[in-house]
Amino acid sequence: DAGITQSPRYKITETGRQVTLMCHQTWSHSYMFWYRQDLGHGLRLIYYSAAADITDKGEVPDGYVVSRSKTENFPLTLESATRSQTSVYFCASSENRGTGLFYEQYFGPGTRLTVT
């Protein structure tokens, strides 16, 4: 199906475990993003990627690792999960049509992660 998908949709893990959240988009968008959504904080950027093999930190990157070997995939890994990483994680993608042109981001359905 066309669009942006995330897996798993729900995940429960224990403190200290490594967990990877997957994101896949079929639009060939250059940019991809990971946000977390927490009550009282809204959505905050964790990492983003401008293209394959180009990634950079956002507002709250600590404890997370990303990679982007293919344009369509942008996995997010929690190296050693902590309870403070319990959140809803959204992946998004966006076109890149030129400098200074900010296009809307399209979001995946989200992954609800609980760290016990």
Partner 1 sequence: AQKVTQAQTEISVVEKEDVTLDCVYETRDTTYYLFWYKQPPSGELVFLIRRNSFDEQNEISGRYSWNFQKSTSSFNFTITASQVVDSAVYFCALSAVLNYGGSQGNLIFGKGTKLSVKP
Interacting residues with partner 1 (CB under 8 A)? 30-31, 33, 40-45, 48, 50, 54, 56, 58, 88, 90, 92, 94, 96, 98-107, 109-110
Neighbours of 18 (CB within 10 A): 11
- Tell me the sheet residues that pair with 78: 19, 64
Residue 3: CB minimum distance to partner 1, A = 11
The residues that bridge with 88 in the sheet, in sequence order, are 37, 112
Q: Given strand 64-66, what is the order of strands in its sheet?
A: 4-7, 19-25, 76-78, 64-66
Structural contact between residues 89 and 110, judged by C-beta atoms closer than 8 angstroms: yes
Residue 109 C-beta: closest distance to partner 1, Å: 5
- Between strands 111-115 and 10-13, the pairing is parallel
Specify the residue, 15 or 89, whose C-beta has the smaller distance to partner 1: 89
Minimum CB distance to partner 1 smaller for 11 or for 44: 44
Nearest residue (CB) to partner 1, 14 versus 56? 56
* Closest CB 24 distance from partner 1, rounded Å: 16
